Amino acid sequence: MLLQFSIKNFRTFKDKATLSLIASNYDKDTREHENIVINDNFGLRLLKSAVIYGANASGKSKLLDAFAFMRYFVVNSSKESQKGETIEVEPFKLSTQTENEPSEFEIIFVHKNVYYRYGFEATAERIVSEWLYHKPKTKEVELYYREGSTFNTHERSFTKGNTVVKEGLVRDNALLISVAAQFNEKTAINVLDWFKRLKTLSGLNESGYQGFTMGRTEDPDHKIKILDLLKAADLGIQDIELQKLDINSLPKGMPKELKDKIIKEVREEKQEYVSDVLTKHKKYNEHLKAVGNISFSLDEDESSGTRKFFALTGPILDVIENGYTLVVDELDSKLHPNLVCKIVLLFNSKEFNKKSAQLIFNTHDTNLLSSGLFRRDQIWFTNKNKFGEAKLYSLADFKSDEVRKNDPFEDNYIKGKYGAVPFLGFFENLKFLLTENENEGQKS
């Protein structure tokens, strides 16, 4: 499970920003049974979900982009295709102090009953520093620390990683953790395994994971679970069916090279292409009695919200079934607020989320603040100051006499009590501008 994620000098975040999923002590009597997982090995109380609010351009999405970047870079930086490529970091550009400094990332998690702390600093050209610590029992042990091309490695606990360093196999733009995993360093493999279990999605564009859900429907057991979620969402869908591409009905305007490739793969390699998903709905007669089913095209007949929720069902079920961590940018986009509440409830539920999967997402949906689903330590905000610097903080960071557990969080947030809302004073000038324009129109 994820414990903590920190970034520094990355995009809109100049100073260090830390998102923590370690539960606070003064909220112990609030949704303790539902929203908290107890890790007895390390004496931790961990949150199953966290929501992030903030004005437009305040850093909400940039924070989640940092998750996606770190995951991708850890998993892929050792690959030969990355040789000579720049590292996709972007320092805070609005300050002369930071524009040429490295970006920093650190993550703390528990995987297979071991506590890990891993991080690195990087510029576009090279890794400036990198570190890995683990805590098998009670004491944190340094497995390696890298500063530029100088490595200090634990010879007994990071043996193969030590060999990789001595052989000079780590490029300036590659992470030791990634290279060591390729050479079967057990600890490095475990770290990469956790990163692969960290799933990041865009709530604005479901095309990137709709194919995953479509593939899951071909397994009868998974299809049943997907259908159960769709029915629970009250979308009127009774069944789903994949419509396979008919190579005899390919579009006339399709490029010949692509058409020949598809025909060859279908005929010779027995590959199948899905052209659409058919959703089945009940059909009624004049007496409002069901007389059969009718098929709709997911792409052409269903709403954008239905398409998005269908696409989400596969990743959500996969994450919950396996105890992964899911990070979603704009989860609420296209979805009804009540449906977003139900998704959060799935993750908070002890009955459905038996492997302690975690959900982190950002949203503008303030209804969630009055839903009673979140504790104060699960509600986070991003706020940008006049210098363009984004800050990240939790409702639990306020003093207890400033924010009480029974306060109307939604009303207070909208009123600006917690910050993280846009300053719209300029709109007060629009009346003056409108009047001025009207007067000019009358003069002419």
Low-confidence ranges of the chain (pLDDT < 70): 80-81, 246, 248-249, 266, 268-271, 273, 423-444
Domains within the chain, CATH numbers bracketed: 2-197+323-414 (3.40.50), 207-312 (no CATH)
Supply φ then ψ for residue 437, to 5 degrees: -65, -35
Between the CA of residue 206 and those of 231, 312, 313, 315, 319, what are the distances in Å? 20, 8, 11, 11, 16
> What's the pLDDT at 435?
58
- The three-state DSSP-derived secondary structure of the chain is CEEEEEEECECCECCCEEEECECCHHHCCCCHHHHEEEECCCCEEEECEEEEEECCCCCHHHHHHHHHHHHHHHHHCCCHHHCCCCCCCCCCCCCCCCCCCCEEEEEEEEECCEEEEEEEEECCCCEEEEEEEEECCCCCEEEEEEECCEEEECCCCCHHHHHHHHCCCCCCCCCHHHHHHHCCCHHHHHHHHHHHCEEEEECCCCHHHHHHHHHHCCCHHHHHHHHHHHHHCCCCCCEEEEEECCHHHCCCCCCHHHHHHHHHHHHCCCCCCEEEEEEEEEEECCCCCEEEEEEEECCCCCCHHHHHHHHHHHHHHHHHHHCCEEEEECCCCCCCHHHHHHHHHHHHCCCCCCCCCEEEEECCCHHHHHCCCCCHHHEEEEEECCCCCEEEEEHHHCCCCCCCCCCCHHHHHHCCCCCCCCCCHHHHHHHHHHHHHHHHHHHC
Sequence length of the chain is 444
> What's the pLDDT at 29?
76
Rounded-to-integer distance, Cα 344 and Cα 373, Å: 8
Between the CA of residue 355 and those of 114, 116, 388, what are the distances in Å? 16, 19, 40
Does the pTM exceed 0.85? Answer: yes
> CB-based burial of residue 438 (10 Å sphere; 0-12 exposed, 13-18 middle, 19+ buried)?
exposed
Rounded-to-integer distance, Cα 293 and Cα 274, Å: 22
Note the maximum CA span of the chain: 86
> What's the pLDDT at 271?
67
> What's the pLDDT at 406?
79
